[in-house]
Structure 1
Amino acid sequence: MKRFFKWIGTGLLVVVLLGGSFAAHEWYADKPFYFNNFLNREMVKVAFDSPETLTSLGFLESVGIKGHNSELDDASPEKGEALFDKARGIRQVIVDYDNEDLSKDELLSKKITLYLLDYLIGNEPFQYHTYPVNQLFGVQNGFPSFMQGQHQINDATDVENYLSRLGAVDEKFAQVLEGLKLREEKGIIPPQFVITRVLDEMNGFVASPLNENILYSSLKEKMADIETLSQEQQDEFLAKAEARINDDVNRAYQLFIDYFTTLQAKAGNDHGYWHLPDGDKVYANALRFFTTTDMTADEIHNIGLKEVARIQGEMMTILEGEGYDVTLGFTKAMDALAADPSHYYEDNDAGREQILKDYQTILDEIEEGMSEVFRIRPEAGMEVVRIPEFKEKTAPGAYYQQPAIDGSRPGRFFANLYDIKATPKYSMRTLAYHEGIPGHHFQIALAMEMEGMPFIRKMSPFTAYTEGWALYSEYLAWEMGFQDNPLDNLGRLQAELFRAVRLVVDTGIHQKRWTREEAIDYMASNTGMALSDVTSEIERYIVMPGQATSYKVGMLKILELREKAKTALGDKFDLRDFHDVVLKNGAVPLAILEELIDAYIQEKQV
């Protein structure tokens, strides 16, 4: 609990839980005395209205509060629509706080919060322009992952709560289905391939033997570590879990299977958002949100083309130096590199286990060298784990999961080991730096641990900043000498090329009306990536328009601002100072990041 109070940055919740007239005022007043109290209070209310969020945050359990772990979130359309009224109310109160009464940091919090609220409110007309059940995410794979990765099992009460959630899953699926039908009425129907992927995933989940079902095997594995549970108790709990999986869970999945089977006849093969009602407006809105800029799709597309050409040129120089024939062009040279078996691990369990160990070694190594360029680092540890096998076929190559607030769970770098050839040895350092240290783990865990920062700034979803930082971290690690092997540097450049290609294909699909196949062909021809990775990536961009452009846009901005600071400060420039400014304010829109760097420059020049 102590770590949560430090993380949330206020004693307000402590006082509320203990009682007190001042605390009561701050909790119930339309406008609390202290601005940060208002921001934190509203975010705490949002968290307390989401049982799944409370489970993920993991702070109430340490004081014996576990009731929320028996419930699932309300996923009904009515709940989602009420969010907009809530947002307008919060915005009005924020505006009522006079800027002259706020500190410098509170003014920053006000600006960031208004940015988020204005986007949310402005997006209300397009709230159903999404595919909430798709091959990457959705309740159909999110629920099993949540139960396996977030729901802790430490005693019999935790098991009872687990079983309760299994019994509630059919209601949640029914709520999601209401939203899917509303989208269908509005003409928001996912492309054919999305429905095919989702049906394959759900049919496979339902058909899998009980001992391979992650909802069953995860519970069994977690209970085995609890000394206070006898084998007889465990068997009884497992029997109940089996019954609920066969009844409530499978009924929920069958509801979706039946719906998507029927919907398939209405789905087409136009893949870009341009084909949806108001699709051009929705895509422009998505680009504004994910890049936090006013760049147009054409501007982003052209930047991508230029960066692709530049990075490929650098890669060809390395390939030639390593003895590869570059006379036949980039694709052939990369194919020759990919065909060399020495770059891959054994395609078996032992090989995959070795990948995880080597990732951890890479991260342990770079962590030792961080003091040269960082003054701060997170208290939370980090571990490397495999993406659950039931969903790795359509999952991304890797992703990061933030640590629990109370320290019960470290940050986690999830690695996709489905296709062994998608993990060449020369690409591992770059991926580890991006997802782990000094990438996502440094930035996200540090923000969570920052004292005095409002809750909303610890969790703000500015992808251009967070992914831009992670991509910048790959470049920084190379500058520091951690990728001095030419092929490791080639892996870094290939990863950067991948993000540059994203600028081209995302705008190509949603603005220039490229087909899925055209986008796959462009990415495969210009990255040298495994076809399995290329296919899943392009399919990701189709269901998440705009998001993929944020990485490269964010990285370019951070590098631009670093160069701006170096030029302005000369000998006074210290990279550690720059990183402090970038990291100590949490995730921010890129325009606000520039304001922060300008203020830092001005302060240093005095």
Structure 2
Amino acid sequence: MFRRILKWTLRVVALLVIVLAVFLINLIWFRPWSLNLFYEKVFAQVLFDEPELLSSIGLVERFGLTGHSAKLGDASPAHQQRFFDRAKKDLADLRAYPLEKQDASQTLSTHILEWYLTQQIEGEKFQWHNYPVNQLFGVQSEFPSFMANTHRLLAPRDCEYYRQRLMAVGTKFDQLIESLKVREQKGILPPRFVVEKVLTEMNNFVAQPPAENILATSFKTRAAKIEGLSDEQRLAFQKRIETAITGDVYFAYRKLIDYCNAVLPKTTTDDGVWKLPDGDAFYAYALRRSTTTTLNPEEVHNLGLREVTRIEGEMRALLDANGFAGRPIGEAMDALGKDQRFLFPNDDKGRADALAEYTRLIDDAIERSRLLFATVPKAKIEVRRVPVFKEATSPGAYYNGASLDGTRPGVFYANLRDMNEIPKWSMHRLAYHEGVPGHHWQIATAQELKGLPQFRKLIPFTAYQEGWALYTEWLAKEAGWYDGDPFGDLGRLQAELFRAVRLVVDTGIHAKRWPREQAITYMRDKTGMGEKEVTAEIERYIVNPG
């Protein structure tokens, strides 16, 4: 009797194994039977091929999958081509699912994924039309930021993963240099100022004693909070990290420095992508990708000019009513930006006070937003300073999303390089835009949605994300958050004017062949923003067209 039961049990187990194997083979190597499984397959393929992205999202660690934490992404040309080849296959497979058999939610998901894949495939012919080493978000500055702020350090094994990632940077930079040489062969080089600023940044980075490098200091601070590590173990790990910085990280950076020094004489002062092969076609594609419209550069330029005129009219009324009657708008805003009543001290205390004020504004906005929105995201948000090593060329602020597992909050990074760039009347709208109810509120809400494919929660649509954040600045006005604060409202309007000016200067640089200096002058004259901030913004558009 026992043997018979055992025999039938083994047969059932074998059958289940066969069924599972058939299911997995179909899921991994072929088009899945289920459309919903196909959505997740597409998402998983990308995710598990990009270990740094996988760490950033924080989706699989809760299931004990942590091996990716020891790896860096592949930056080779071959890997880049595999991405496009897979996108083509995924699009063909997606189109094989009949639309008439899909429910309303699936139909919408299919249309979104089809649009996204189509845009990616259209960009294959322009895959080299970018500058992966640049002063804004280049690989050379994103790597230290990623390690300091995103790499998990919650358990002893995470310390070893950290070391292994430092040791892997040499391979990544070799792949990066290989891809830069492909661009060089195709006549695609960044403007001279980009290479000069990157060289300054990297030379300063490797000139630091290893113990003072952000890779070592951030590790020391975070490793001190790991339970289960003795002081001796922490010191041993710290020594290994500093050894890896010297022997692996700095060695890799010096190779990249050598390449940049060699390529510098070949660069020019032409800033727009019009100079690249098929540059006009590339820029038209970049506009379509970023705006999700079919507006051509001339139409975008003229839209910006009209918006500049409209917003200036609103600002004129507020300025006239508050002591600036008759003064040009840019001049008046420049004067307001230098008014000592609205400035923090340009020292460490002033920076600490600014971070505290941003935090207060975010906390207040969360409570106010509970009255405006039915859904309140669970993800937390923090305000931090842009890392000092890259703040000179970074924008005024940016946001990084929270991890899905809740171990890392969303972070609103504020650039505190010069406190004279941060008048108090400008802080409200920036907190609303980057934090609540802007980027943090929208991105966290999307990530926490139930019943949708993962890609619907995480695919970035620039037009929507930036459009939402700009809308929330206006929403704060409509909700009365600026009542009794005309200068705060002027800060909101200056930011809206800044977006309109961006349309003008972006198309001016890349389609109308404006030199960098002309774009800087136009933005300064129109907005009254500080020279350092404007310069960083214009240089941002040069390396990130559209």
- Normalised by the shorter chain, which TM-score bucket? over 0.9
Deviation at 1:25, TM superposition (A): 6.1
The answer on whether the counterparts of 2:177 and 2:256 sit within 8 Å (CA) in structure 1 is yes
Tell me which amino acid in the other structure corresponds to 2:398: Y
2:344 is the alignment partner of 1:345? yes
Deviation at 1:461, TM superposition (A): 2.3
Tell me which amino acid in the other structure corresponds to 2:334: D
Deviation at 1:331, TM superposition (A): 2.6
Aligned residue number for residue 364 of structure 1: 363
Aligned residue number for residue 281 of structure 1: 281
2:225 is the alignment partner of 1:238? no
The answer on whether the counterparts of 1:76 and 1:175 sit within 8 Å (CA) in structure 2 is yes
Deviation at 1:42, TM superposition (A): 1.7
Deviation at 1:29, TM superposition (A): 6.0
Write out per-residue CA displacement over residues 441-492 of structure 1, whole angstroms, 9 at most, x where no aligned residue: 1111111111111122112221111101100110001110112210010000
Deviation at 1:26, TM superposition (A): 5.9
**Which SS does the other structure have where 1:391 is aligned?**
helix
Q: How does 1:13-162 map to 2 (within 5 A)?
A: 20=20, 24=24, 27-28=27-28, 30-162=30-162
The answer on whether the counterparts of 2:365 and 2:436 sit within 8 Å (CA) in structure 1 is yes
The answer on whether the counterparts of 1:202 and 1:253 sit within 8 Å (CA) in structure 2 is yes
Deviation at 1:61, TM superposition (A): 2.6
User: Unmatched 5+ residue regions in structure 2?
Assistant: 1-15
Q: For 2:506 and 2:374, how far apart are their aligned partners in 1?
A: 37
**Which SS does the other structure have where 1:450 is aligned?**
coil
Q: Number of paired residues?
A: 529
Q: For 1:87 and 1:61, how far apart are their aligned partners in 2?
A: 26
The answer on whether the counterparts of 1:398 and 1:414 sit within 8 Å (CA) in structure 2 is yes
2:455 is the alignment partner of 1:470? no
Moved more, 521-530 or 303-312: 303-312
Q: For 1:28 and 1:161, how far apart are their aligned partners in 2?
A: 28
2:235 is the alignment partner of 1:249? no
Q: How does 1:557-576 map to 2 (within 5 A)?
A: none
Write out per-residue CA displacement over residues 2-41 of structure 1, whole angstroms, 9 at most, x where no aligned residue: xxxxxxxxxxxxxx99x94685366336222321210111
Q: 1:376 to 1:227 in 2, by over 3 A?
A: closer
The answer on whether the counterparts of 1:159 and 1:237 sit within 8 Å (CA) in structure 2 is yes
Aligned residue number for residue 378 of structure 2: 379
The answer on whether the counterparts of 1:133 and 1:198 sit within 8 Å (CA) in structure 2 is yes
Tell me which amino acid in the other structure corresponds to 1:462: F
The answer on whether the counterparts of 1:304 and 1:502 sit within 8 Å (CA) in structure 2 is yes
Q: For 2:41 and 2:219, how far apart are their aligned partners in 1?
A: 34
Q: For 2:64 and 2:397, how far apart are their aligned partners in 1?
A: 34
Write out per-residue CA displacement over residues 130-182 of structure 1, whole angstroms, 9 at most, x where no aligned residue: 01110011221111111011112123211111111111101100001101000
Aligned residue number for residue 193 of structure 2: 193
Tell me which amino acid in the other structure corresponds to 1:161: Y
User: Unmatched 5+ residue regions in structure 1?
Assistant: 1-15, 547-606
Moved more, 518-527 or 378-387: 378-387
Tell me which amino acid in the other structure corresponds to 2:216: Y
Alpha-carbon RMSD across the aligned residues, in angstroms, is 1.6
Write out per-residue CA displacement over residues 268-323 of structure 1, whole angstroms, 9 at most, x where no aligned residue: 01111111110000000000110100001111111111111121122122122111
Moved more, 61-70 or 343-352: 61-70
Q: For 2:236 and 2:128, how far apart are their aligned partners in 1?
A: 43
Tell me which amino acid in the other structure corresponds to 2:270: D
Q: For 2:234 and 2:363, how far apart are their aligned partners in 1?
A: 37
Tell me which amino acid in the other structure corresponds to 1:66: T
The answer on whether the counterparts of 2:273 and 2:280 sit within 8 Å (CA) in structure 1 is yes
The answer on whether the counterparts of 2:435 and 2:441 sit within 8 Å (CA) in structure 1 is yes
**Which SS does the other structure have where 1:133 is aligned?**
coil
Moved more, 498-507 or 109-118: 109-118
2:412 is the alignment partner of 1:399? no
Q: For 2:22 and 2:433, how far apart are their aligned partners in 1?
A: 44
TM-score by length of 1: 0.85
Write out per-residue CA displacement over residues 232-259 of structure 1, whole angstroms, 9 at most, x where no aligned residue: 2222112111211111111110011101
Tell me which amino acid in the other structure corresponds to 2:488: D
Aligned residue number for residue 13 of structure 2: none
Q: For 2:64 and 2:291, how far apart are their aligned partners in 1?
A: 41
Q: For 2:179 and 2:63, how far apart are their aligned partners in 1?
A: 36
Q: 1:312 to 1:276 in 2, by over 3 A?
A: same
Q: For 1:362 and 1:464, how far apart are their aligned partners in 2?
A: 25
Q: For 1:22 and 1:349, how far apart are their aligned partners in 2?
A: 62
The answer on whether the counterparts of 2:402 and 2:410 sit within 8 Å (CA) in structure 1 is yes
Q: For 2:66 and 2:327, how far apart are their aligned partners in 1?
A: 63
Aligned residue number for residue 11 of structure 2: none
Aligned residue number for residue 580 of structure 1: none
**Which SS does the other structure have where 1:59 is aligned?**
coil
Aligned residue number for residue 502 of structure 1: 502
Tell me which amino acid in the other structure corresponds to 2:435: G
Q: For 2:87 and 2:545, how far apart are their aligned partners in 1?
A: 24
Tell me which amino acid in the other structure corresponds to 2:472: S
Q: For 1:414 and 1:139, how far apart are their aligned partners in 2?
A: 18
TM-score by length of 2: 0.94
2:440 is the alignment partner of 1:435? no
Moved more, 207-216 or 473-482: 207-216
The answer on whether the counterparts of 1:170 and 1:248 sit within 8 Å (CA) in structure 2 is yes
Moved more, 367-376 or 406-415: 367-376
The answer on whether the counterparts of 2:334 and 2:530 sit within 8 Å (CA) in structure 1 is no
Deviation at 1:190, TM superposition (A): 0.5
Q: For 1:21 and 1:266, how far apart are their aligned partners in 2?
A: 55
Aligned residue number for residue 260 of structure 1: 260
Deviation at 1:390, TM superposition (A): 1.2
Deviation at 1:372, TM superposition (A): 3.9
Moved more, 149-158 or 369-378: 369-378
Tell me which amino acid in the other structure corresponds to 2:307: E
Tell me which amino acid in the other structure corresponds to 1:274: W
Tell me which amino acid in the other structure corresponds to 2:514: W
Tell me which amino acid in the other structure corresponds to 1:173: F
2:516 is the alignment partner of 1:516? yes
Aligned residue number for residue 537 of structure 2: 537
Identity of counterpart residues, as a percentage? 49
Q: For 2:86 and 2:63, how far apart are their aligned partners in 1?
A: 30
